[in-house]
Structure 1
Amino acid sequence: MSPTPAAPVPAAPVPADRPLRWGVLATGKIAGSFARDLALLDDHEVVAAGSRDVERARAFVAEHGSADARGYGSYEELAADPEVDVVYVASPHGRHLEDATLCLDAGKAVLCEKALTLDAASGRRLVEHARERGLFLAEAMWMRTNPVIREVQRLVGDGALGELGEVRAELGFVADPDVARLWEPELGASALLDIGIYPLTFAHLLLGQPHTVAAAGALHERGFDVAGGATLVHDGCGDRGVEPVSSLAWTQLAQSDNTASVAGTEGRIEIGRRFHHPTSFTLVRGDDAETIDVPVIGRGYAHEAVEVAACLRAGRTESDLLPLDATVQLQELMDTILEQVGVRTRA
């Protein structure tokens, strides 16, 4: 009987006197967007990339990597690279559990694209695995680290809108029929997991976990969801004894207006189109409306990288801005919604 391999020793804090060295697992569109934002930061660099096609990996590091960056033809080789501090997992979410586990087993810190996994059970399993090994893990929900969203949170927390009563958010686009991850069940195709997660996260950030969920949606003939909406009731009765409600929608079939708002007794905040990576918002009180601009680096991916670096340099294995417990709560909520919509099985 073979001996059980020893668990990797958690990495020491990343020194502050050198760049954070990133490995990129999967080299599709989202990986390129992330790498372009990394290039705007002085203390980050892509030192390796892994793809099932070694030429794609080499082309990726030629465009985005450091001078001596390596391109690998397998994810296993990437995870084993001793120069990589943290792996950005950019594969379709149907592969996230397998790919993130591979990296954790190799002793690597992991920033994994959303949705973290296909369901709450596998999400909890991945979180427990990272905690058992003492390794950093976070879901790459870049909206949570966006400076605009954080300022909205601050204002709401400071009572700028009075007692909250309503959150509204919706996100939609027409999905390219050639993008396999959006249409192939074995890759985890789901409008909720791909884009509905943003309205849900926005409501969760401001109102917390709901106690009541009423959802409906449309299914593709192959059984996955392509559009949906939900009304959520949250805890938090104020002086009026009425709980706040969020109204959310998502679709990969139509160009919706992609806006969000949060309203209270003293005013409201409106966030314009593509609310999940905004650069400004409008604060409305009575007849007065003030548009507030907040500096954002690049498209906004850089801010999650900055947060990961701060954690790794401080030796922290979890992020306050990308909290794992909240990630699992959102997965539990998405499980409930998918069941109500009629999605019974997933890849």
Structure 2
Amino acid sequence: MSSPKTVRWGILATGGIAKTFTKDLLVDPQTRGVTHIKHTVVAAASSSSQSRAEQFLKETGCPASAKAYGSYEDFVKDPDIDIVYIATPHSHHYQNAMLALEAGKNVLCEKAFTVNAAQARELANKAREKNLFLMEAVWTRYFPLSVYVRELVTSGRIGPVARVLVDNSIASDPEAAFSDGKHRLVNPDLAGGALLDLGIYSLTWVFQTLYHTQDEKTRQPPKVLAALKHYGPTKAADEATTMILTFPRSEEAGGEAHAVATTSLRVATMPGGLKDVPGIRIQGPQGEIQVFGPAYRPERTRLVLKDGTVEEKEWPQPGPGKGSGWYNGFGGGKNAEGEGHGMFWEADEAATAVVEGRKEGKYEGLDESVLIMEVMDEVRRQGGLRYPEHIETTKYPTHV
């Protein structure tokens, strides 16, 4: 057996999602049955100060040899970085990813990929021009649970999917929780709102079950009908958005299929945090697939067939395990001891692609990422939501 290849990561930004990703990244891949690659972190950058990057490297347990940078421009010049993980707010993804691509770096960029489809197309074109790997970090697509659900769809056990219902909502009190208007969920200068931050997961489940599972040569973009409620205090972000998508298909493939994708800052998919409500239902004439837990980090599936058959599966996250003293989590939450958050699956895919010389992700290529941005563009157009020009622009560089 050949020894695993080590892929060297650079972490661009040092906020909460970067910490969660990096801690997961450094878990031994063998704990999840991965033996062909290893991950290491060779550099991290904070736009505010080098000392903040140094603190980040310590907090996440990176090797002592990892370098800290106080500027993204200096960071992307580091010759030891194989791939850059971009963890800034999505309002800044275009500028940050373009900086890394221009410097000749492979890129894994957090979701939502960009603010609009024009920016996504520019990034895809730049990556192809420079023959670099570029992938949107839609971590959920790489969970074994998601792979299983897609396999259920393509196996035909529920028949051709006729309808998908997905909600990803959080019961916050935005006026109280984000009273200064600066939080990424409501701030127009961070492309704030439910759609780009939360609704992307609703669309992820729609697309990975109703679009990605179709034949690449014949699948077609959906038609979109949307309703968008503006957030009162700013009128420049959405607090609730509902999307009805119609996917054209041949009669042989089941004919036209529908999806309803919803998101909200003010109501909850799972009131009180109870996980007995399936936020995702994938329905066909022979039954349905139900997915439990938040849309972004699902934990359980139930297959319910027309003949009364019920198959339930639990999908625990691997990690160092109990007794390890190791913890990870996100947004103030903490997972059980030794339980990873689930961000290592997308890291494994990105690293594998770099080692193999592939330029796109296996479970969501660049064209699909662009298409999903086009859908969100249309949703915002119908809802009359546009962000400031310096956030929407494709001009590079623009310092924001």
TM-score w.r.t. the length of structure 2 is 0.79
Residue 5 of structure 2 contacts residue 355 of structure 2 at CA under 8 Å; is this kept in 1? no
Q: What's the counterpart of residue 55 of structure 2? A: 59
Q: What's the counterpart of residue 316 of structure 1? A: 358
Structure 1 residue identity aligned to 2:23: R
In 1, the alpha carbon distance for the partners of 2:264 and 2:6 equals 39
Quick check: which one's strand share is greater?
A: 1
Note the alpha carbon deviations across 1:89-128, whole angstroms, 9 max, x for none.
0001111111111111111110000111110011101110
Residue 14 of structure 2 contacts residue 46 of structure 2 at CA under 8 Å; is this kept in 1? yes
In 1, the alpha carbon distance for the partners of 2:82 and 2:341 equals 23
Corresponding residue to 1:293 among 314, 339, 346: 314
In 2, the alpha carbon distance for the partners of 1:316 and 1:242 equals 34
Structure 1 residue identity aligned to 2:370: V
In 2, the alpha carbon distance for the partners of 1:160 and 1:321 equals 21
Q: What's the counterpart of residue 196 of structure 1? A: 199
Structure 1 residue identity aligned to 2:299: T
Note the alpha carbon deviations across 1:250-294, whole angstroms, 9 max, x for none.
012232227101010111000012033223200001323211234
Corresponding residue to 2:247 among 215, 218, 234: 234
Residue 267 to residue 135, structure 1, CA distance change in 2 (3 Å): same
In 1, the alpha carbon distance for the partners of 2:279 and 2:98 equals 35
Q: What's the counterpart of residue 91 of structure 2? A: 94
Q: What's the counterpart of residue 21 of structure 1? A: 8
In 2, the alpha carbon distance for the partners of 1:338 and 1:79 equals 33
Residue 192 of structure 1 contacts residue 250 of structure 1 at CA under 8 Å; is this kept in 2? yes
The answer to whether the aligner puts 1:39 opposite 2:26 as a matched pair is yes
Q: What's the counterpart of residue 217 of structure 1? A: 228
Deviating runs (4+, > 3 A) in structure 1? 15-18, 237-242, 294-297
SS of aligned partner of 1:259: strand
Shift of 1:63: 2.0
Residue 182 to residue 240, structure 1, CA distance change in 2 (3 Å): closer
In 2, the alpha carbon distance for the partners of 1:182 and 1:196 equals 12
Residue 50 of structure 1 contacts residue 73 of structure 1 at CA under 8 Å; is this kept in 2? yes
Residue 115 of structure 1 contacts residue 197 of structure 1 at CA under 8 Å; is this kept in 2? yes
Corresponding residue to 2:132 among 127, 131, 135: 135
In 1, the alpha carbon distance for the partners of 2:314 and 2:11 equals 32
Equivalences for residues 126-205 of structure 1 within 5 A: 126-173=123-170, 174=172, 176-177=177-178, 180-205=183-208
Shift of 1:236: 2.2
Residue 27 of structure 1 contacts residue 57 of structure 1 at CA under 8 Å; is this kept in 2? yes
Note the alpha carbon deviations across 1:29-56, whole angstroms, 9 max, x for none.
1001101211213411122110022222
Residue 161 of structure 2 contacts residue 254 of structure 2 at CA under 8 Å; is this kept in 1? no
Q: What's the counterpart of residue 76 of structure 1? A: 73
In 1, the alpha carbon distance for the partners of 2:253 and 2:92 equals 46
Residue 218 of structure 1 contacts residue 226 of structure 1 at CA under 8 Å; is this kept in 2? yes
In 1, the alpha carbon distance for the partners of 2:256 and 2:357 equals 39
In 2, the alpha carbon distance for the partners of 1:331 and 1:137 equals 16
SS of aligned partner of 1:227: strand
The answer to whether the aligner puts 1:304 opposite 2:346 as a matched pair is yes
Structure 1 residue identity aligned to 2:225: A
Residue 165 of structure 2 contacts residue 281 of structure 2 at CA under 8 Å; is this kept in 1? yes
Deviating more after overlay: 258-267 vs 123-132: 258-267
- Alpha-carbon RMSD: 1.9
Deviating more after overlay: 315-324 vs 116-125: 315-324
Residue 75 to residue 236, structure 1, CA distance change in 2 (3 Å): same
Residue 296 to residue 238, structure 1, CA distance change in 2 (3 Å): farther
Residue 147 of structure 1 contacts residue 295 of structure 1 at CA under 8 Å; is this kept in 2? no
Residue 198 to residue 240, structure 1, CA distance change in 2 (3 Å): closer
Residue 192 of structure 1 contacts residue 225 of structure 1 at CA under 8 Å; is this kept in 2? yes
Equivalences for residues 1-20 of structure 1 within 5 A: 17-20=4-7
Structure 2 residue identity aligned to 1:211: P
Structure 2 residue identity aligned to 1:81: D
Residue 190 of structure 1 contacts residue 226 of structure 1 at CA under 8 Å; is this kept in 2? yes
Shift of 1:237: 4.7
TM-score w.r.t. the length of structure 1 is 0.91
Residue 207 of structure 1 contacts residue 235 of structure 1 at CA under 8 Å; is this kept in 2? no
Q: What's the counterpart of residue 327 of structure 1? A: 369
Structure 2 residue identity aligned to 1:293: E
Residue 285 to residue 187, structure 1, CA distance change in 2 (3 Å): same
In 1, the alpha carbon distance for the partners of 2:245 and 2:364 equals 22
Gaps of 5+ in 1: 1-14
In 2, the alpha carbon distance for the partners of 1:116 and 1:93 equals 7
Note the alpha carbon deviations across 1:206-265, whole angstroms, 9 max, x for none.
112553211102112342212111111112254697521111100122322271010101
Residue 16 of structure 1 contacts residue 313 of structure 1 at CA under 8 Å; is this kept in 2? no
The answer to whether the aligner puts 1:111 opposite 2:153 as a matched pair is no
In 1, the alpha carbon distance for the partners of 2:3 and 2:264 equals 43
Deviating more after overlay: 46-55 vs 179-188: 179-188
Q: Tell me how many residue pairs correspond in the alignment.
A: 333
Deviating more after overlay: 62-71 vs 334-343: 62-71
In 2, the alpha carbon distance for the partners of 1:339 and 1:345 equals 11
In 1, the alpha carbon distance for the partners of 2:53 and 2:239 equals 31
In 1, the alpha carbon distance for the partners of 2:316 and 2:293 equals 17
Residue 237 of structure 1 contacts residue 244 of structure 1 at CA under 8 Å; is this kept in 2? no
Q: What's the counterpart of residue 7 of structure 1? A: none
- Report the identity percentage: 37
Q: What's the counterpart of residue 263 of structure 1? A: 283
